[in-house]
Every structure is written in C-alpha cells, then in structure tokens.
Amino acid sequence: MSVARQAKLWQWGAVAYVVAASIFFTFMPLLAVRSGDATVWVSPYRMLGWQVFLPLLLPLALTVIPLLARRHAIRVGWVCVGLLSAICLLLALSSGLLFVPAPVLMALGTYLATRAPVEDEDLHDEPWKVPSA
C-alpha cells in the first residue's frame, strides 16, 4: 500500500472519529436537570434540539478541509491540525477531550502525506556500474 493511500486512510479515520464523537456527544445523557425532587440526565440534543449540531460542524470541517485541499494540501493540513488541537485544549474541561484523537489522526495523516512523494517514488533497481574514463 502506498504512503499516499495510507495518509488518506488516516485522514478519513479522523473524519470518521469526529463523526462518531459528535454523535456520542449529541445523544449521550450528559446534563443533569433537576425535575422536582429527582435529577434526570438528558442529552444535549434533547435540551437544545438540532442547534447542538452547529458547533459540532467546526471539528468536522477542520477534518474534511485537508482532504479537499488540492493546492498547499500539506500546509492546510497542518493548519487544520493546529486549529483542532487549539479547540481541544480550549474545551478540555468539557467536550474537548472527546475530540483529542482526531488531531492526532490528522497529524499522522498529514505527516504521511508529506512523506508520500519521497516514499512512493519508483526506484530503478539497477546495479551500479563504474563509469568509463
């Protein structure tokens, strides 16, 4: 398998992880709501409705943009890794830790994408000959 293909698979893995983490965050009962004498745990989707998906589009966009970039794809990839890492650090005490594997997967994919032109080059495996004088 070529290094370029491995890079794309790691980047698509980051996209799949962000989608799975967003679904988990949206539908998992995380919020405690006091109802009379009892405490009821509800999901963010049940509290906010479809608006809960709007902030979750940012991590998804940051993982998809490097896959769609044709010009300066490596630079765009590293910028998106940095932005997603910053978001994870800023939101570390709430939902940020849930998304931490995404920038790691993206960084691995971007690193492999930088290595792809060198690693995937076809080498001519001919024996070396002494040049004639």
68 three-state secondary structure: helix
119 three-state secondary structure: helix
- pLDDT at position 88, please? 86
- pLDDT at position 20, please? 92
As given in the structure block, the two tokens for residue 20 are 């799975």
- pLDDT at position 24, please? 87
> Do 27 and 45 meet the contact criterion of CB atoms below 8 Å apart?
yes
Q: State the pTM of this model.
A: 0.77
- pLDDT at position 2, please? 80
CA 59 to CA 65: how far, in whole Å? 10
- pLDDT at position 118, please? 63
Q: Amino acid identity of 63?
A: T
CA 44 to CA 68: how far, in whole Å? 30
- pLDDT at position 123, please? 60
CA 116 to CA 93: how far, in whole Å? 37
If you compute the radius of gyration of the chain from its CA atoms, what whole number of angstroms results? 22
Per-residue pLDDT of the chain (133 residues), as tens digits, is 787 788 888 889 999 999 998 888 888 887 788 888 888 888 888 888 888 888 888 889 999 998 888 888 889 999 999 998 898 888 877 777 778 888 888 898 888 888 777 666 666 677 777 887 6
Residue 83: CB atoms within 10 Å: 16
